[in-house]
Amino acid sequence: MATITLSRQLGSRGDEVAQAIGERLGYRVVYRDLLNTAAQRAGAPELALEVLDVLGLLQTSATPQAHQAFQQALHELMVELADQGKVILIGRAGCVLLRERLDVFHVRLVAPVAQRVERIAQQRGLSPAAAQAQVEASDQTRRAYLRQHHHANWDDPHLYDLVINMEKLTVDSAAALVCLACTHQVDRHDSPLERPLG
Amino acid sequence: MIPPWSVPLAEAASPQPTFSHPMEEIFARILGYYGIQWHYEPRTFPLAWDEQGNVTEAFTPDFYLPEQKLYVELTTLRPQLIRHKNRKLRRMKELYPEINIKLFKRQDLRDMMIKYGLVDEAEKLLGTEAQNAT
C-alpha cells in the first residue's frame, strides 16, 4: 500500500499515530503543507487558515468560489502525492477524495469523548468544561466539512478500511495495527487469486 | 515534539514584538494556538511618491504568515476604518499584484475565548482599554 489517509478526532492521538506509522514504514506525514499548497494553488491562501481554525477564532469566510477552487486543488494535490506514494495524508477528506484508488488505505482513529476531553484538558492545561467545548467544536467543524464539501458522513465506518478505537491502545500498538493491515492489503492485491481480472 | 497550542508567544515570533493594538496581540496568540508561524509588520510597501521620488504614503501590513505566503491586515468593524484600509489594499493590489494580502475584520472574541479556556488571555487583552482603542 503506497498511501495512507488518516482521519482522526481531536484528542484521539491521531497525529502521534501518524508519526509512528511514518517511522515504521518510512513514509512522510503530510498535513499543513497540503493545506497551504492547495490554498495557494486556489489563489486563496487565507483558506488554509479557515481550514485550520476549527474553533472559529480567526473569523474568516472565503467565498464559495474560493472554496470550490480549494477543493479542486486539494484533490489534485492528493492525487499527485498518492502517485508519488510512501505518504500519510492527514485529514481533509482524503478517504473521500482518494476513495476509488486501490493503492490507498483509509484509516480512522476514534476515542471515547470523556477520554479525549481528559487528554485535551491535560495537554493544554484547560478546565474540563473548556476541553469539552474544544472537542465538541472540533468534531462539529470536521463533521461539517465532510458534509458540506463532500456530502459524506464523517462518522460512517464504510468510508474507511480500518477504524481504530484508541481507548485501550497505545500509539505504538495502533501504528502496528495499521502497518499490519496495510501489509495484508499488499499481499492480497499481489495474490493472483485476489487480483481483479483484466 | 511541542504541540502547537503550547507554543508561547515569544517562541512563535522571536523576539516578541511590541504590538500597537491589543487586537493584534490576540490575533498573534490565536495564530500561536494553531501553530501558525507569523512575523509582525516585517515589511513596508510604498504606495505613493512625490515628484522627487520621496515616499509620501506607505502601508505596513500587521502580519506576514510565511507558511501561507500571506500578509494580514487587521481592522475593527468601524466602517470608516474599513473603507480607509480597503483603499490601501486596492492600491497595494495595483502596485504589488504578486503580494497576497487579506483584511481581517475582528469582532469581540471575549465570549469565545472564555468558552474555550482562553479566559486569562481574554481578561488581560480584552479589558476596557482594549475595547476603547481603535
Residue B55 falls inside a structural domain: yes
> CATH no. for residue B124?
3.40.1350
pLDDT category at B8 given cuts 50, 70, 90 is very low
A123 touches B: beta carbon within 8 Å = yes
Above 50 in pLDDT, residue A32?
yes
Interface of B with A (CB under 8 A): 1, 3, 5-6, 27, 30, 33-36, 65, 67-70, 100, 102, 104-107, 109, 112-113, 115-119
Per-residue pLDDT tens over the stretch B41-78: 999 999 999 999 999 999 999 999 999 999 999 887 77
> CATH no. for residue A173?
3.40.50.300
Above 70 in pLDDT, residue B2?
no
Q: Which of A46, A53, A129 sits opposite B70 (nearest CB)?
A: A46
| Cell, residue A160 | 474507511
User: How large is the average pLDDT for residues A15-43?
Assistant: 95
Lowest mean pLDDT among A31-40, B47-56, B89-98, B109-118: B109-118
Cis peptide before B15 (omega within 30 of 0): yes
Residue A32: list chain B partners with CB under 8 A.
Answer: 35, 67
Range of the domain at B89: 4-129
In 3D, which of B68, B74, B82 has the Cα closest to residue B27?
A: B74
Residue B36: list chain A partners with CB under 8 A.
Answer: 49, 52
Above 50 in pLDDT, residue A20?
yes
HSE toward the beta carbon, residue B101, CA cutoff 13 A = 27
User: How large is the average pLDDT for residues B78-97?
Assistant: 88
Residue A186 falls inside a structural domain: no
Lowest mean pLDDT among A8-22, A79-93, A137-151, A181-195: A181-195
Residue B134 falls inside a structural domain: no
Residue A45: list chain B partners with CB under 8 A.
Answer: 65, 68-70, 100, 102
The mean pLDDT value of chain A amounts to 90
Q: Which secondary-structure segment (H or E) carries B108? A: none
Lowest mean pLDDT among A40-49, A141-150, A181-190: A181-190
Q: Do B68 and A39 touch (CB under 8 A)?
A: yes
To probe the interface with A, which of B6, B23, B29, B67 has the most A CB atoms within 10 Å?
B67
Say what the pTM is.
0.81
% of chain A residues with pLDDT over 70: 92
Per-residue pLDDT tens over the stretch A113-155: 999 999 999 998 889 999 999 999 999 999 999 999 999 999 9
Cβ proximity of A38 and A50 under 8 Å: no
Residue B95 falls inside a structural domain: yes
| Cell, residue B49 | 511618491
**How many CB atoms lie under 10 A from the CB of residue B2?**
9
d(CA A38, CA A47): 9
The predicted pLDDT at position A131 comes to 94
pLDDT category at B15 given cuts 50, 70, 90 is low
Above 90 in pLDDT, residue B26?
no
| Cell, residue A113 | 469523548
Domains of chain A: total: 1
Residue A149 falls inside a structural domain: yes
Domains of chain B: total: 1
Distance from CA of A178 to the nearest CA of B (A): 22
Q: Which of A52, A57, A131 sits opposite B117 (nearest CB)?
A: A131
Q: Which residue has the higher pLDDT, A97 or B103?
A: A97
User: How large is the average pLDDT for residues A14-34?
Assistant: 95
Cβ proximity of B23 and B106 under 8 Å: yes
Per-residue pLDDT tens over the stretch A157-167: 999 999 999 99
d(CA A160, CA A141): 19
Range of the domain at A127: 3-180
User: How large is the average pLDDT for residues A4-14?
Assistant: 97
